[in-house]
């Protein structure tokens, strides 16, 4: 469905396993849309099952962007995502379609919506390996202490358990950049943000069921194939939820049952962390209950388009 807005963007966000992709497919079909993924794991090729990547049939039915853009051993970060997402947005508009930004990686979502100006600091693989070695020998706390020594403000904003983010913050600080928070330039989107919510116990049950479905669909074989092709379990892509645990099982470190259980618990924790990015009291987000969301989401989107078109009419008078 065409819109007369100059820069429309529909956003669907929320914790993992709430049904964002399914709702996006339904709305994109109904409103002539294309989907821009805001998922930090779906960017990697050959990692399909464990990232809940859209099926081939879904990708054929509705164009998807910013998925399968790099190999599992490639560096990928916020700056590259933002560049690809903005390019995809422009292409969707040129096609005359409605852009949908869909995903649960909060940093990616807000970087686009708030126009974060990401420091242009390329990754230094040699330096990263040195810090990874330090973490292996002395613990993640030692690397976090190093961050605090070079940029104390950044250490207040980075998860002290997230080694990859800690190392990236140190990289940026070494180049004389500050990590106190992203500088923003309003991108000027006319956006509608729909959030899917679900009570915690129901969400945990859905997460656990989805992990079981992924295992039944061949997730273990997917990880085994990646390792056989030379993709090391220490790669950023392979430390994602489930991939690290299944790699540990394949290496003989833990049983399969333990790997699956750890994957479920780690996904629970990830869902809790996502609430820090998508707050229930954020007035920008129209929260709706997951499960029977299609009718309400359709109504909200249609009303938004109608109101926006009337505003365009009034402005043009």
- Identify the pLDDT of residue 262: 98
pTM: 0.84
What is the mean pLDDT of each successive set of 10 residues along the chain, which is 317 residues long? Answer: 74 97 97 98 98 97 98 92 97 97 96 88 84 90 88 81 87 71 81 97 97 98 98 93 98 98 97 94 96 91 85 55
Q: Report the C-alpha dihedral over residues 247, 269, 258, 246, rounded to 10 degrees.
A: -10
Q: Which domains does the chain have, with CATH numbers?
A: 8-118+183-316 (3.40.50.300), 125-174 (no CATH)
- Identify the pLDDT of residue 179: 52
Residues 160 and 141: beta-carbon distance below 8 Å: yes
Q: Give the CB-side neighbour count of residue 63, counting CA atoms within 13 A.
A: 14
Q: How far is CA 57 from CA 28, 44, 166, 211, in A?
A: 14, 19, 38, 21
- Identify the pLDDT of residue 185: 85
- Identify the pLDDT of residue 173: 85
Residue listed under structure tokens 């706390």:
141
Please, what is the angle between helix 219-228 and helix 243-250, to 10°? Answer: 70
**How many angstroms separate the CA atoms of 314 and 317, rounded?**
5
Residues 108 and 40: beta-carbon distance below 8 Å: yes
DSSP helix/strand/coil, 7: coil
């Amino acid at each position: 469905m065409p819109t007369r807005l100059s820069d429309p963007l529909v956003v669907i966000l929320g914790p993992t396993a709430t049904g964002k992709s399914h709702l996006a497919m339904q709305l994109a079909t109904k409103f002539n849309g294309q989907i821009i993924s805001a998922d930090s794991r779906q960017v990697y090729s050959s990692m399909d099952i464990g990232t809940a990547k859209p099926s081939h049939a879904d990708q054929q039915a509705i164009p998807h962007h910013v998925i399968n853009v790099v190999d599992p051993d490639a560096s990928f970060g916020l700056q590259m995502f933002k560049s690809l997402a903005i390019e995809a947005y422009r292409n969707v508009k040129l096609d005359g379609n409605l852009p949908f930004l869909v995903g649960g990686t909060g940093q990616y979502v807000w970087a686009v919506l708030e126009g974060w100006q990401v420091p242009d600091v390329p990754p230094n693989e040699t330096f990263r390996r040195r810090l990874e070695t330090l973490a292996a020998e002395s613990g993640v706390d030692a690397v976090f202490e190093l961050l605090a020594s070079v940029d104390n403000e950044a250490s207040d904003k980075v998860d002290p358990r997230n080694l990859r983010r800690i190392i990236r913050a140190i990289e940026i600080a070494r180049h004389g950049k500050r990590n106190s928070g992203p500088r923003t330039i309003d991108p000027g989107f006319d956006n509608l943000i729909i959030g899917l919510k679900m009570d915690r116990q129901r969400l945990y049950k859905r997460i656990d069921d989805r992990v079981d479905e992924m295992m039944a669909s061949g997730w273990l074989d997917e990880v085994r194939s990646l390792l056989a092709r030379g993709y090391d379990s220490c790669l950023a892509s392979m430390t994602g939820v489930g991939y690290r645990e299944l790699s540990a099982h394949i290496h003989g470190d833990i049983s399969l049952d333990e790997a699956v259980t750890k994957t479920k618990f780690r996904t629970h924790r990830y869902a809790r962390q996502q609430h820090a990015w998508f707050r229930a009291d954020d007035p920008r987000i129209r929260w709706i209950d997951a499960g029977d969301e299609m009718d309400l989401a359709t109504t909200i989107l249609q009303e938004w388009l109608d109101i926006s078109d009337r505003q365009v009419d009034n402005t043009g008078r």
